[in-house]
Amino acid sequence: MNINFYTGSKLLSALLLACAALVPLPASVLAAQAGAPLVTGLPDFTKLIERVGPAVVNIRTTERVKPAQMGPGEEEMQEFLRRFFGVPGGRGRRGGEDDVQRGVGSGFIISPDGYVLTNAHVVEGADEVLVTLTDRREFKAKVLGADKRSDVALLKVAAAHLPSLVVGDSGRIRVGEWVIAIGSPFNLDNSVTAGIISAKARDTGDYLPLIQSDVAVNPGNSGGPLINMLGEVIGITSQIATLSGGYSGISFAVPIDEVMRVAEQLKKSGRVSRGRMGVQIGEVSKEVAESLGLGKARGGEVSLVEPGGPAEKAGIKVGDIILKYNGQAIERSADLPRLVGASPIGSRAVVTVWRKGQQQDIAVGVAEMEDDDAPAKAAPTKPAPDAAANPLGLAVADLTAAQHKALRVQGGVLVNTATGAAARAGLRHGDVILQMDNVDITDARQFNAMAARLDPKKSVALLVRRDNVTRFEVIKPRQ
């Protein structure tokens, strides 16, 4: 019998050969071994910058204030910032008022005839806006309109044959692709930074599914373009996530598709019209979804229905879970405001809701969103007489006729005290319980009878009204 002995690298090579014969290697590994790696080297941005850089502009704004409004020592502080940190300052006397440099930002030209895009917060409150090109030409710009919700502003300068950027398609971007940002951080105009897209639709606001990247962005970059490797603008640099006030590795841009929709309206009318249904919604948790028979967490939970609004007129109720809007699935609650906001004013939409274990379609009119649409608060409830606590740890009482009228509800019970599991779930005195496991609550006797029959091993979903907001809370009975 011949016995072969292997030591060190010989033994390892033999084992690898044996494994290779038995276990097929992944395609990516085989491709790499064949000399075809998935990533090779780093991109060269030089030609790209030469082509797109001239269309990126520096934006300076001034505000006219009376001398009495200037704080003591402010002029000396502005001179200090100008000399040692490069922050523009100073004033020019004009008719008893002072022109104060109030900010520096970035922007980019989208058409040769002088239309410029930037952030709304860059030009907010400005009396004069100056746009400077890379060839040092400077123009006074007119603000055609600014939209705070999307943080987009459209400017116009009186010029022709200007360099402009090509508008891309932000719906086709991919996580991991290279992008660059050009702007004026700390007034250092036409500065270029590069990185990759980190996420495509980061939820940071009702109408802004922002592009997240690791491109370095600092004060002064606001309003500048985010550009892909084709030289197309795919977003407007808008925000950073930071604890220090400076760049911390995460920056956000408004997708160019949303930007251009806003810009078209600003160009036509100077303002943006958005649709509304008159509801307030929240996220559906995994526990609530399971308790209501939804399966996975999805949709938006209706916590408030505006009195007299389109949703109330159509029959949408507090506690409904909105699953679809015009056939488009609502995966997260933030999806709904964007879809409704983009709907034509006066149109009708089909809203699919989950109510008491069943799915139904409701036709809802789309009204125009107001600038400040704050719902009125319901009148505060008064404490009711004490009642014995039920197995949920809740002592409840019937609502008075006045409370029913103030809260605009038919049934429900008022929570006097919450202990045990109910307290741990966040319930408290003054809450109003409208439903238990999809069953409407009419009075305290019915509520306590239902609570006594609950399976102590199962969770229970309660529809709870607090002030003017209603949402599901999931608790477990005491064991």
Range with the lowest mean pLDDT among 120-129, 251-260, 268-277, 374-383?
Answer: 374-383
% of residues, the chain, pLDDT over 90: 39
Exposed e or buried b for every residue in 199-218, given b needs 16+ CB within 10 A? ebbbeebebbbbbbbbbbbb
The residue with greater pLDDT, 33 or 300, is 300
pLDDT of res. 16: 41
Banded pLDDT at 204 (limits 50, 70, 90): low
pLDDT of res. 140: 95
The answer to whether 44 touches 194, Cβ cutoff 8 Å, is no
Q: Is residue 252's pLDDT more than 60?
A: yes
Q: Is residue 165's pLDDT more than 60?
A: yes
The answer to whether 184 touches 224, Cβ cutoff 8 Å, is yes
Residues annotated within a binding site for substrate: 121, 151, 220-222
Distance CA 333, CA 418 (A): 29
Banded pLDDT at 256 (limits 50, 70, 90): very high
Distance CA 104, CA 83 (A): 16
Sorted by where each starts, the structural domains of the chain and their CATH numbers stand as 51-157 (2.40.10.10), 166-269 (2.40.10.10), 275-368 (2.30.42.10), 394-475 (2.30.42.10)
Range with the lowest mean pLDDT among 92-101, 110-119, 207-216, 224-233?
Answer: 92-101
Banded pLDDT at 194 (limits 50, 70, 90): very high
Opening angle at CA 274, ends 270 and 354, nearest 5: 175
Residue 438: count of CB within 10 angstroms of its CB: 16
pLDDT of res. 5: 39
pLDDT of res. 395: 87
Q: Which residues contact 260 (CB under 8 A, 6 or more apart)?
A: 167
Instruction: Calculate mean pLDDT across residues 388-413.
Output: 81
The answer to whether 68 touches 22, Cβ cutoff 8 Å, is no
Q: Is residue 92's pLDDT more than 90?
A: no
The residue with greater pLDDT, 384 or 297, is 297
pLDDT in tens, 406-432: 777 888 999 888 888 888 888 888 889
Write down the pTM of the prediction.
Answer: 0.65
The answer to whether 199 touches 222, Cβ cutoff 8 Å, is no
Q: Which residues are catalytic?
A: 121, 151, 222
Q: How many CA atoms lie within 13 A of 132 on its CB side?
A: 14
- Give me the sign of the Cα torsion angle 204, 210, 216, 217: negative
Hey, what are 159's tokens?
């010029």
The residue with greater pLDDT, 26 or 289, is 289
Range with the lowest mean pLDDT among 40-54, 175-189, 385-399?
Answer: 385-399
pLDDT of res. 163: 96
Range with the lowest mean pLDDT among 96-105, 146-155, 279-288, 344-353?
Answer: 96-105
The answer to whether 150 touches 208, Cβ cutoff 8 Å, is yes
Residues annotated within a binding site: 121, 151, 220-222
Distance CA 190, CA 162 (A): 16
The answer to whether 140 touches 159, Cβ cutoff 8 Å, is no
pLDDT of res. 236: 95
Opening angle at CA 435, ends 431 and 437, nearest 5: 125
